[in-house]
Amino acid sequence: MKLIASAALAAAMSFVALGASADTLKIAFIDPLSGPMGPSGESGLKHFMFAAEELNAEGGVNGSQVEVVGFDNKVNPKESLVQLQKAIDQGIRYVVQGNGSSVASALIDAIEKHNKRNPGEEVLFLNYAAVDPAFTNEKCSFWHFRFDSDADMKMEAVTDWVAGHPDIKSVYLIGQDYSFGKAVAAAAVRMLEVKAPEVKIVGNELHPLAKVKDFTPYVQKIINSGADAIITGNWGSDMVLLVKAAIDAGWDKPILTYYGGSTGAATAMGEAAVGKVRQVSEVVVNYPSSPEQQERIAKFEEKYPENSYYYHRVFNVMHFLDAAAEKAGSNDPTKVAYAMEGMEMDGAYGHLTMRADNHQILQDLFVGTFSANPPRGVEGLPLGWMAEDKDHIPAAATSMETTCQMTRPKM
């Protein structure tokens, strides 16, 4: 059954591109739809498609129907540029991407260049998950908006948690060997030094991205180091296989993650991870929210029973796009981008602000805990993510200084 569903999805993705018409607003979704990171991308695409339906049911964006077109980039920056060109050739002016800061970085550069060379045909990049802090600091671009909190903002939450648990005397950092993994490790070292100088960093390890199939040697190294907690920014298969190996080896101390909710991780973790694995995210589905939000989650999981509601920020992307286009009175990317700067909105989990100075969203964050018997489980299990009020970090507290000096185009 699973096979047919994914085959159908793949087929749908390749054919939607054909039915272009003047009054559709097309969005290119450039992310991995195959390979080890495929499940992450597929889950993201489903969230976007669902959010697009939601907008379309309310009359679309300025009357245009929204259509999300999937492009498989295999988490490869070079392949992503090919896919970007394909999207631009199809007349698509909006790009969304999230999996892999290496990819996001390539897209930002390419879109900067494209927009400079093709005035009147600008492309706007809405980033829903690539969290290398550089994109909203030294590498910031007018054409890039980030809807996830960056690696530093999340690390603030993680290190606060560590500082608040005096029984944690040593931590082990493990991450993926590319810009994002390095950013996470650097932030952890920097922040722990200030907040909890007595906590020792007993390991700081990078492993190749999406290449390791067996994390057992790494896990045994971690156990031997005597660490009291693991901090990791791993996502996708690297997250799933890391926790799988850790649980198999009997690891029973905290694992502090950015993406513990990656597709497949809950199944790999099972009962053994309850109360140990934590995740910093903008959504915890079991945290009290409005009836509308609860209904949205229920409908999403009813429509895609194989996936759990995970990318809440995808809905923020789409609703910001909608509101900005309405404010601008146009679907033109340049006008929409200007309208989006400094825009505020009430989201399902708190007030949202898109900073004008560096295009970074400010949103409430949660330190969720993997728990047994939550009201709403994940991946069909009686396990899921829970958070209490003490785990809730208000948006304002996540704001950070920026070194961004943005050059803005003429309107």
| Site for another protein, rule CB under 8 A | 2-3, 6-7, 10, 33-36, 38-39, 42, 177, 203, 205-208, 211, 213-214, 216-221, 223-224, 237, 241, 248-250, 264, 267
> CA dihedral in degrees (311, 379, 177, 46; nearest 10)?
-40
- Of residues 3 and 22, the one with the C-beta less far from another protein: 3
- Of residues 249 and 381, the one with the C-beta less far from another protein: 249
Nearest approach, Cβ of residue 39 and another protein (Å): 5
Greatest extent of the chain over all pairs of C-alpha atoms, in Å = 61
Nearest approach, Cβ of residue 357 and another protein (Å): 32
- Of residues 98 and 264, the one with the C-beta less far from another protein: 264
- Of residues 237 and 289, the one with the C-beta less far from another protein: 237
- Of residues 207 and 359, the one with the C-beta less far from another protein: 207
Nearest approach, Cβ of residue 366 and another protein (Å): 28
Give the number of residues written for the chain. Answer: 411
Residues paired with 351 in a beta bridge: 346
Among 50, 124, 113, smallest CA distance to 335 is for: 124
Distance CA 244, CA 266 (A): 9
DSSP at 357: T
Nearest approach, Cβ of residue 212 and another protein (Å): 8
Distance CA 398, CA 157 (A): 8
Question: Is there a contact between 410 and 334 (Cβ–Cβ < 8 Å)?
Answer: no
Nearest approach, Cβ of residue 105 and another protein (Å): 19
Helices marked H in 125-215: 151-163, 179-195
Distance CA 397, CA 14 (A): 43
Distance CA 313, CA 409 (A): 27
Nearest approach, Cβ of residue 179 and another protein (Å): 15
- Of residues 204 and 294, the one with the C-beta less far from another protein: 204
DSSP at 293: H
